[in-house]
Amino acid sequence: MPDDFPTESTGRAVRGRGRPKAWDDRSAQNTIKSLDRAMAVFEHLSTTTGATLSELAADTDQSPATTYRILVTLEARGLVEFDAGPQLWHIGPRAFLIGARYLHRTSLVERARPVLRRLMERTGETANLGIARDGHVLFISQVETHASIRAFFPPGTLSPMHASGIGKALLAQMTPEARARALAEAGLERFTARTLTDPAQIEADMVLTQARGYAIDDEEKTEGMRCIAAPVTDLHGEVVAGISVSGPASRVSDAEIPRLAAAVTEAAATLSAALGAPAA
């Protein structure tokens, strides 16, 4: 329901159209500082596997007393929870429910599910869907393989773009300037001996990725795991996501890459068509 806002002339509330006149004003006067501080704690906690009160206070540059009040408030909403044994705070179950509602907001995830399932069945490997977020890949959907050894990127997982199959597929579609900005946002951390951290090496890999139509994460994020990915476009021809298969290097071998890459690029084209992308 639209909000009511008082008019300047009468002071009486009138029916609004869903937002005030100052909607685009992002100045300090239109922010709620206490809420902003709470979100800083909440977002930081979401990047950890658990943190103490003192760690959260130090990492978010807030006093322990303020941080504690924030945590207790969020706990009452089920957004965080406290493990009394090790004295650690964790993200709570309601955070997942809210995140899941976001995923249902877009048709991307809905349209991708059958495509991901067919891709997993065709390749025998875990199929993933991810989008770009602040120099990272945000995994938003996955269909796991039935094999005992498998890759696992639950929805909500973030991975630096330079060390991710989907990330590299998305980077390859960007302009050099946009690519440089995306890489600068997350940095070029080295995860394994194969991680590409030299900008010149990354650019060479982008040229190769563009030429063949798919990207390869060759044990660059996790030793022993490989990923093959391709970009997904929408009705405007813009890249909106990446789709991939991932699995152990013993199964995603050099000999298997052509077969798996064909399946991935076909799945990307199928999902793109479902989103209204123009025919290639």
Check whether 261 has a pLDDT greater than 80.
yes
Architecture of domain 106-274: 2-Layer Sandwich (3.30)
Each domain of the chain, given as residue ranges in start order, spans 29-104, 106-274
The pLDDT value given to residue 32:
86
Please tell me if the domain spanning 29-104 has the same topology as the one spanning 106-274. Answer: no
Q: What is the DSSP letter of 48?
A: S
- The C-alpha atoms of residue 232 and residue 264 are separated, in whole angstroms, by 11
Check whether 16 has a pLDDT greater than 90.
no
The pLDDT value given to residue 3:
44
CB 226 within 8 A of CB 233: no
- The C-alpha atoms of residue 101 and residue 3 are separated, in whole angstroms, by 22
The pLDDT value given to residue 201:
94
Would you place residue 121 in the very low, low, confident or very high pLDDT band (cuts 50, 70, 90)?
very high
Higher pLDDT, 74 or 101: 74
List the one residue out of 273, 277, 177, 168 whose CA is nearest residue 229: 168
Residues with Cβ within 8 Å of 254's Cβ and at least 6 positions away in sequence, in order, are none
Would you place residue 1 in the very low, low, confident or very high pLDDT band (cuts 50, 70, 90)?
very low
Encode pLDDT of 141-187 as tens digits. Answer: 999 998 877 777 777 888 999 999 999 999 999 999 999 999 998 88
Instruction: Answer yes or no: CATH 3.30.710.10 is held by domain 29-104.
Output: no
